[in-house]
Structure 1
Amino acid sequence: MSLFWRIFVLNAFGLVVAAALLLGPVTVSTPILPGEVLVVVAGLAALLTVNAVVLRVGLAPLGRLGRAMADADLLHPGVRAVVSGPVETAELITTYNAMLDRLEAERAASAAGALSAQERERHRIARELHDEVGQTLTAVLLQLKRVADRAPADLREELGQAQEATRAGLDEIRRIARRLRPGVLDELGLLSALRSLAAEFTTHGLTVRHDLRTGLPPLTEETELVLYRVAQEALTNTARHSGADRAELRVRPIADGVELLVRDNGSGLGTAADAGAGIRGMRERALLIGATLTLSSTPDGSGGGPRGTDVRLRATASADRPDVAAPGGHR
């Protein structure tokens, strides 16, 4: 029954009963007698109480819907309001849930397009850095060497410093190009790319241990790229913000796919679990492939030490793509 008819029937019933009583055994005298006052007040109180109960029960689903709308977050999909209450309220909640379905589908599609465009742009910039700027600096380095070979002795030291600065710039450009588009991911597979990533962060002051299990189930190119990018972003956050000196990078097969874990011994998440653009980007990448991303702070294994951060991504394997082994049995 709709909320309108519930309230209408209740009020009609109360008025009919009151009219029947007034036309029957109950009368109102002038002046009003104390007993009559008691009957009228009791009847009014009963009618108001029942009205209040009906309204409270009928409007409770709207309150739950309001809380669900306030807590809705498209980065945490799948949460829906429970359909209950009168017809109008149930229809409103059903419409809201359908709207969330559309919004999540549209967000997933737009995120896929944006991330795909981002990867294409990264690929283009990496190629131009490697092919254009890298070759230019290589030519400058060769030219400096030729000049240094013919230069007077008092200028060779300065030319050597210029060579070292150019070589350092060339190495930095190559490192940036690798981070923008890891060629090893395309050439040797996911595990080799993750080993290279761990080694890269280890050389920048963070000790990264890796446990990369072989025998992973078949994964699409998009899934491998998301796993790599999430690991890269998690290690970047660890190096920049956590104050950690140790980190672990693990990949292992699970029942329906693969699990990636990045763990550090830093200061933990604190109140910034969803504040950073990096974490938001990881969540959007996880949504792109239907994976589950969880972030948590955990005590250090030694007990009583600093709190670390776990970044865990669980992705479903693809049955559409055969497994391709990299050299040495690794993907």
Structure 2
Amino acid sequence: MCIAACVCLPWSAAGSIRSSSSATSMAETPAKQWNPFAAVLLLAGGLILFAVLAWSSHSSLRALEDETAMRARARMSLLQATVVLSLLKDVETGQRGFLLTRNETYLSTFREGVAGLDPALARFREVSSGLAGVDALREELQPLVMRRVAIATRNISMFPQAEPEVTTARNELLDEGRATMERIRSNFRTIETRLRDEIDARNRVVGATMKRALLTSVLLTATGAFLILAAYGLLQREQVRRLRAEEALREANARLEQAVASRTAELQQARDEIGAFALHLDRGIEAERRRLAREVHDQLGQVFTAVNLLVHQALQGVPGRGQDLERIGSLIGEGIATARRIASAMRPPLLDDLGLGAALVHAGRQFADQAGVHCEVAVTDGERLSADQSIQLFRIVQEALTNVARHAGASRVRIEGGADGERYRLSIEDDGHGLAGEPSASHGLISMRERASLAGGELALGEGLSGGLRVEVTLPLADSGEAEDADPDRR
């Protein structure tokens, strides 16, 4: 933990130096901050003017479209009124020609005119609807046209009859037809005048709108372009100033990075030396444990055995000392078992004699007997590990089992290990409380992580298949030569 703090220190210092340098630079140039601010204001003003120009152009275009549409309707209404009047003239011409010449050809002209009046009037009503001053005249025109057609039809139907009464009635109808036609022509003249006035008014509005749009476009475009050019000039000046400041900052950062790199290299070297010393120290501790375990197993075992023989020789055959002999033998047996247990805890002999798999199977059985937790062990390929890796994995499993017994509340534990390509994976998984029952900063986990790092690997925590905690250690597999060099007992 101290090493990590030392390594992080220069980067923190570098960040502080950079922040201090930036703060100093900002403090030295408060008067120059108006340049970018003014440029932003000018640029924003130019963009706003262009936005206003776009909105104004859109509004003018919509107004032109509306005025053009109304002008087109007025022109179409004028054209359609002319069509209706032309058809009425055909009706009147057909009637008059037939009455004067009795030629059936005029009747076809009459019938064509009558047939075309209804659709022509409907079209005229459609295109002129809503035009100011035309609706009332159009509604007044409709019955007059129908009346004129009815009079002409009646005159033609009365043509074969020569009675004086019929002749008088026909003359009256002719007079009424002329009067009706005159009213129709007067109505059409009024409609034509109003439609032409409407067209002229729309033309004036369109012209004024186009002039206003052109003037607005020129003014807004010129003003916006001026503001943007002014903003560009200010930004160019600011860019030159910033480039100079950035060049000075790059030089300062280069010097700072060089100092930080030098300090980081020194700290990394110190960290490597500390790691090597820690590994050497751990190897020394394990060697001393191995020696003490052998001393305890061999010396104390021999002493207890010798004492047992001497006591048996001294008390054997002595009357009344049989029970004392049995009690002393039992105590000596417990001492021998205790010595063996201490020796096994300090350095399991199975780890040196039979390898990691057998040692973990034995440790799992002991854990199951002591903690009452079912333990399954399936570990292979232990011979491909170096001695340092084997002992570190064994200690990690010991610490993990201790954590399971203390914190997990589990009923089952499974230990799996084996080679996976060029790496070795070992996992300890329980069905207990999971990560909630194991603080991430506990001493046990810190110890396991450090041991995994000493072995050249890494340790990861996760959730097991049964919801408990899964501890997985991944190590690079050692070459056979490296494994033999790292393990004195294998030479």
Q: TM-score range by the shorter chain?
A: 0.5 to 0.7
User: In 1, Cα distance between the equivalents of 2:415 and 2:36?
Assistant: 75
Q: Which deviates more from structure 2 when the two are superposed, residues 235-244 or residues 312-321? A: 235-244
Task: Tell me the alpha carbon deviations over residues 239-279 of structure 1, each in whole angstroms, 9 at most, x when there is no partner.
Answer: 34434342111112113211111122334453533322x43
Distance change in 2, residues 1:133/1:17 (3 Å): closer
Distance change in 2, residues 1:274/1:131 (3 Å): same
Match of 1:105 among 253, 267, 272: 272
Q: Cα offset for 1:172?
A: 1.8
Match of 1:164 among 327, 330, 334: 330
Q: Cα offset for 1:315?
A: 0.7
1:316 aligns with 2:476: yes
Distance change in 2, residues 1:106/1:202 (3 Å): same
Match of 2:307 in 1: 140
Match of 2:446 in 1: 280
Match of 1:212 among 374, 379, 382: 379
- Contact 1:217/1:253 (<8 A) preserved: no
Distance change in 2, residues 1:158/1:291 (3 Å): same
Q: Output the amino acid matched with 1:222.
A: D
Higher strand share: 1
Task: Tell me the alpha carbon deviations over residues 206-258 of structure 1, each in whole angstroms, 9 at most, x when there is no partner.
Answer: 32111123x46732221122112211222233234434342111112113211
User: In 2, Cα distance between the equivalents of 1:208 and 1:148?
Assistant: 45
Structure 1 unaligned residues grouped into runs of 5+? 19-49, 59-83, 302-306, 325-331
Larger Rg: 2
- Contact 2:297/2:340 (<8 A) preserved: yes
Structure 2 unaligned residues grouped into runs of 5+? 1-17, 38-237, 485-491
Any residues of structure 2 matched to 1:1-331 within 5 Å, and which?
A: 3=22, 7=26, 10-11=29-30, 13-14=32-33, 87=253, 91=257, 94=261, 98=265, 101-147=268-314, 149-153=316-320, 155-204=321-370, 205-213=372-380, 215=381, 218-269=384-435, 270=437, 272-276=439-443, 278-298=444-464, 301=466, 308-321=468-481
Task: Tell me the alpha carbon deviations over residues 113-148 of structure 1, each in whole angstroms, 9 at most, x when there is no partner.
Answer: 221221122122212211222211122222333345
User: In 1, Cα distance between the equivalents of 2:438 and 2:368?
Assistant: 27
User: In 2, Cα distance between the equivalents of 1:238 and 1:165?
Assistant: 33
- Contact 1:112/1:288 (<8 A) preserved: yes
- Contact 2:357/2:382 (<8 A) preserved: no
Q: Output the amino acid matched with 1:146.
A: Q
For the residue of structure 2 that corresponds to 1:210, the secondary structure is strand
For the residue of structure 2 that corresponds to 1:163, the secondary structure is helix
- Contact 2:356/2:382 (<8 A) preserved: no
Task: Tell me the alpha carbon deviations over residues 169-192 of structure 1, each in whole angstroms, 9 at most, x when there is no partner.
Answer: 211211221221122222222222
For the residue of structure 2 that corresponds to 1:203, the secondary structure is helix
Distance change in 2, residues 1:5/1:274 (3 Å): closer
- Contact 1:295/1:309 (<8 A) preserved: yes
CA RMSD of aligned residues (A): 3.8
Q: Cα offset for 1:317?
A: 0.5
User: In 2, Cα distance between the equivalents of 1:319 and 1:156?
Assistant: 60
User: In 1, Cα distance between the equivalents of 2:277 and 2:482?
Assistant: 28
Distance change in 2, residues 1:217/1:138 (3 Å): closer
Q: Cα offset for 1:10?
A: 4.5
For the residue of structure 1 that corresponds to 2:402, the secondary structure is helix
- Contact 2:457/2:473 (<8 A) preserved: yes
User: In 2, Cα distance between the equivalents of 1:112 and 1:252?
Assistant: 24
Q: Output the amino acid matched with 2:377.
A: H
- Contact 1:218/1:322 (<8 A) preserved: no
Q: Output the amino acid matched with 1:190.
A: L
Counting aligned pairs with the same residue, the percent is 29
Q: TM-score, normalised by structure 2?
A: 0.44
For the residue of structure 1 that corresponds to 2:352, the secondary structure is helix
Distance change in 2, residues 1:241/1:150 (3 Å): farther
User: In 2, Cα distance between the equivalents of 1:4 and 1:242?
Assistant: 51
Counting matched residue pairs gives: 252
- Contact 1:148/1:160 (<8 A) preserved: no
Q: TM-score, normalised by structure 1?
A: 0.63
User: In 1, Cα distance between the equivalents of 2:325 and 2:405?
Assistant: 35
Q: Cα offset for 1:297?
A: 5.0
User: In 1, Cα distance between the equivalents of 2:297 and 2:382?
Assistant: 32
User: In 2, Cα distance between the equivalents of 1:89 and 1:241?
Assistant: 52
- Contact 1:245/1:266 (<8 A) preserved: yes
